[in-house]
Every structure is written in structure tokens, then in C-alpha cells.
Amino acid sequence: RKEVEQDPGPFNVPEGATVAFNCTYSNSASQSFFWYRQDCRKEPKLLMSVYSSGNEDGRFTAQLNRASQYISLLIRDSKLSDSATYLCVVRNSGNTPLVFGKGTRLSVIA
Amino acid sequence: DAGVTQSPTHLIKTRGQQVTLRCSPKSGHDTVSWYQQALGQGPQFIFQYYEEEERQRGNFPDRFSGHQFPNYSSELNVNALLLGDSALYLCASSRFPDEAFFGQGTRLTVV
């Protein structure tokens, strides 16, 4: 079983749609959780950290359920510029390396 | 602040050759991690350097080696290249507990 698993893509949605990505992780001792965004042939960039209380940044909402070892990302009112691959990322403790999921590709269509 | 810079941006090598990739971390960062990203996959951790020592290593063969210099810059070396080593190689720098920043990557093609 992979340490971080994500929904298979791609997701093709119209502009203005709401889209949700899900992710599960296998290490119950994991401490830090993130969503990264990666544009085609570019480096990953931090989109947002994910906290147990849930957090929101504009149109983006992230949720963490430690009991189910489940992370989600909700994008409301999708824009063409949201088209990218979204990577679910976990850090097990301290200064340990990031563990990435395979990524889910989103295409927002006009 | 130049951020994380990697060189070269693209590289084509022949099977069996050796390659060296370079990374300069973001100013103030002391930890460098290297990742390999194959097409359609998420980045896979290769190893991490801190205080000029390899601190952690992922599931990669000994053909992959590295170094960190006193100025915190780092090199990734791959010997005896295989076709399967073709990938985007990403360097990430950080200073615990702050977030890691990635360089733009080096796209390696082995023919």
C-alpha cells in the first residue's frame, strides 16, 4: 500500500464548478499535511497547509480527519487558472522529508 | 532573493554515463532534499542533506549519491545511468520548521 494515495484523475470541470479532491495516508504517526499545486513541467508549490480544525484560503478549503487518516481539498467557483496537478503531501515528523501522493490532475474548461 | 536554483535545466545523457546536478538553496536555508519525479508520478524522496551530511535516504540504489558544501549548496550524482533514470529531478531547500521551497528542477533524459 502506498503511503499517500489520491483520487485518480483527471478531473474535467466547467468554470464555476466546485470540485473536491480526497487523499488517504497510511502512517498514523504523520504530523504535518499539505496540498501542493504543480503546473505542467514546473516545480510543486505549496498551496496550503492542512490543520485538524480545517482551514480556508479564499476559494480553497482543506480538511483533515486524523481518525480516518483522510485529507481533502475543496475548490469552489473553479477558474481556468486552477488547472494544474494537485499533490497531497504528508510529513511524518520534524524535519523528515515530504511524502507525496501521485497527484490528481484538474482541467477547468471554459 | 533568488529562491532555489538548479542547474542545468535540461540534460540529455547516454546509458552508462554519469551525471551531476546542482542546487543552490534559498537564502537562510540549511537543509537540501532531492526528489525524483517520473512522468505522471508524484516526487519520490532520494535523500536529504544537513550540515554537509546525508541525514535521510529514500529507496534509491547506491548509484545515487550526493554532497552538501559549506555554503549549503548541494550536488546529486547518478552513476551508470539507466533509461529508467529519465525524470524531473527536484531540489527542495528548507530551514526547520519552516516550509520547503522547490527549485524549477532539472529534466534528465537518458537515451
- Give the pLDDT confidence of B59-84 residue by residue, as tens digits: 999 999 999 999 999 999 999 999 99
pLDDT exceeds cutoff 80 at B94? yes
Q: How big is the A-B interface in CB pairs under 8 Å?
A: 50
Kindly state the DSSP code that residue B9 receives in the 8-state scheme.
S
Average pLDDT over residues B30-57: 95
The pLDDT value recorded for residue A102 is 95
Query: Which of A1-15, B5-19, B29-43 has the least mean pLDDT?
Result: A1-15
Does the pLDDT at position A6 exceed 80? yes
Contact A100 B42 (CB under 8 A): yes
**CA-CA distance, A95 to B48, in Å (whole number)?**
10
- CA angle B19/B24/B29 to nearest 5° reads 135
**Residue ranges of the alpha helices (H) in B34-111?**
none
Which pLDDT score is estimated for A94?
A: 77
Confidence of residue B96 (pLDDT cuts 50, 70, 90): confident
Name which of B91, B98, B99, B102 to mutate to probe chain A: the one with the most chain A Cβ atoms within 10 A of its Cβ: B102
pLDDT at position A1, please?
74
In three state form, how does the secondary structure of chain A look? CCCEEECCCCEEEECCCCEEEEEEECCCCCCEEEEEEECCCCCEEEEEEECCCCEEECCEEEEEECCCCEEEEEECCCCHHHCEEEEEEEECCCCCCEEECCCEEEEEEC
Task: Output the pLDDT for position B97.
Answer: 79
Q: What pLDDT is recorded for position A82?
A: 98
Residues in chain B with CB shorter than 8 Å from the CB of A47 are: none
Q: Quote the minimal CA–CA distance from A94 to chain B in Å.
A: 7
pLDDT in tens, A13-68: 999 999 999 999 999 999 999 999 999 989 999 999 998 888 999 999 999 999 99
**Cβ separation of B41 and A102 shorter than 8 Å?**
yes
pLDDT of B40 above 70: yes
* Percent of residues, chain B, with pLDDT higher than 70: 99
DSSP B25: P
From chain A residues 76-95, the ones with a CB under 8 A of any chain B CB are 87, 94-95
With a CB cutoff of 8 Å and minimum separation 6, the contacts of B44 are A100, B35, B36, B37, B38, B58, B59, B60
* Position B1 confidence tier, pLDDT thresholds 50, 70, 90: low
Comparing alpha-carbon positions, the chain A residue that sits nearest to B32 is A97
Contacts of B40 in chain A (CB under 8 A): 102
In contact, B46 and B64? CB cutoff 8 Å:
yes
pLDDT of B28 reads 93
**CB distance A97–B33 less than 8 Å?**
yes
**Whole-number pLDDT of residue A2:** 83
